[in-house]
């Protein structure tokens, strides 16, 4: 792109004097051809494995439970719906398998966008701060669609419709001292889902994931009928 206005040279052409020797102006005014370097042609470079390890598969951004189960369902009974199995498969998969995983993720996102979901977001620092408390209290209420921290957290959710999940142990580390807080939150959700299922109760597909140090909880909206089963 030129940085100056274009100059129309035809308006400033000198007159040719009679009897004066003339020289061809084409050669004098001709500009050297502009040589544009052509991009070297190289074979396609395969995606390196670190792209998988540094994306949403980070230790503080594990695959959501619902996405893991969806991918496992797409690949059949041979694939278990846990992070280790899916990560091992993705890290050693060929291009065709990775394309199948990508299509499954897109299909999952499309299906989810057509459905009704409730969400609640809280900074990860709130959980870290609560973990330093003597008696951490962290209550997520699916009916109220909010999460509260501190000693009075459960006092906000005493309505008969409230359906709460206590993440206090996830903050203290008693549910896995060597695990990170996001890992412990997800483990607590898996316990909640398993216990609800064992009693034949809906767990509303409660899930969570961490991105940009913010924890997002999502679940299917709780029915309007009065329900109170705190786990």
pLDDT of residue 116: 93
Average pLDDT of the residues in 21-39: 46
Task: Provide mean pLDDT across the span 68-85.
Answer: 70
The DSSP output letter for 145 is: T
pLDDT score for 164:
95
Question: Phi/psi zone of residue 56: left (φ > 0), alpha (ψ -120 to 50 degrees), beta?
Answer: alpha
Percent of the chain surpassing pLDDT 90: 35
Burial of 56 (0-12, 13-18, 19+ CB in 10 A): middle
Handedness of CA 97, 99, 105, 111 (dihedral sign): negative
pLDDT in tens, 173-198: 655 556 889 999 999 999 999 999 99
More reliable by pLDDT, 22 or 94: 94
The DSSP 8-state label assigned to residue 138 in this structure reads E
Provide the residue count of the chain: 231
pLDDT band at 83 (very low <50, low <70, confident <90, very high): low
Residue 141 has pLDDT above 50, yes or no: yes
Checking if the pLDDT of 166 tops 80, the result is yes
**What pLDDT score was predicted for residue 199?**
96
Q: Has residue 202 got a pLDDT over 60? A: yes
Q: What is residue 38's predicted lDDT score, i.e. its pLDDT?
A: 45
Q: What is the pLDDT of residue 188?
A: 94
Distance CA 151, CA 134 (A): 10
**Residue 139 pLDDT grade (very low, low, confident, very high; cuts 50, 70, 90):** very high
| Strands 164-166 and 138-141, bridge-based pairing | antiparallel
* CA separation for the pair 112, 69 (Å, rounded): 14
Query: Of all residues in the chain, what percent carry a pLDDT higher than 70?
Result: 61
Contact status, residue 130 vs residue 166, Cβ threshold 8 Å: no
Of the listed ranges 55-59, 79-83, 96-100, 122-126, the least confidently predicted one is 55-59
DSSP letters for 207-222: EEEEETTEEEEEEPPP
Check whether 31 has a pLDDT greater than 60. no
What is the pLDDT, as a whole number, of residue 203? 95
pLDDT-derived band of residue 205, with 50, 70 and 90 as boundaries?
A: very high
Judge whether residue 26 has pLDDT over 50. no
Judged by phi (left if over 0) then psi (alpha if -120 to 50, else beta), residue 173 lies in left
Residues in contact with 124: Cβ distance below 8 Å, sequence separation at least 6, in sequence order = 60, 181, 182, 210, 213, 214, 215
Mean pLDDT in residue range 141-168: 92
pLDDT for position 81: 55
- In the predicted structure, residue 61 carries a pLDDT above the cut 80: no
| Run of H or E residues at 118 | strand 118-123
């Amino acid at each position: 792109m030129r940085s100056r206005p274009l100059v129309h040279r035809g308006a400033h052409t000198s007159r040719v004097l009679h009897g004066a020797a003339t020289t061809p102006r084409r050669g004098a005014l001709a500009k050297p051809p502009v040589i544009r370097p052509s991009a070297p042609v190289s074979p396609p470079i395969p995606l390196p494995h670190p792209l998988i390890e540094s994306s949403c598969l980070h230790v503080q951004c594990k695959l959501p439970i619902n996405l893991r189960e969806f991918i496992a369902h797409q690949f059949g009974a041979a694939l278990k719906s846990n992070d280790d199995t899916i990560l091992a498969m993705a890290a050693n998969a060929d291009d065709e398998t990775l394309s199948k995983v990508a299509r499954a993720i897109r299909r999952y996102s499309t299906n989810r966008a057509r459905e009704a979901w409730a969400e609640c977001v809280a900074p990860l620092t709130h959980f870290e701060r609560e973990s330093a408390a003597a008696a951490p209290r962290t209550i997520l209420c699916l009916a109220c669609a909010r999460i509260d921290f501190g000693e009075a957290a459960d006092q906000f959710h005493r309505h008969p419709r409230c359906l709460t999940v206590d993440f206090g142990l996830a903050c203290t580390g008693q549910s896995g001292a060597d695990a990170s807080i996001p890992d412990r939150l997800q483990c607590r959700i898996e316990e909640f889902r398993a216990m609800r299922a064992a009693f034949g109760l809906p767990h509303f597909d409660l899930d969570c994931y961490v991105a940009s140090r913010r924890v997002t909880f999502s679940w299917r909206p709780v029915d309007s009928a009065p329900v109170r089963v705190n786990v």
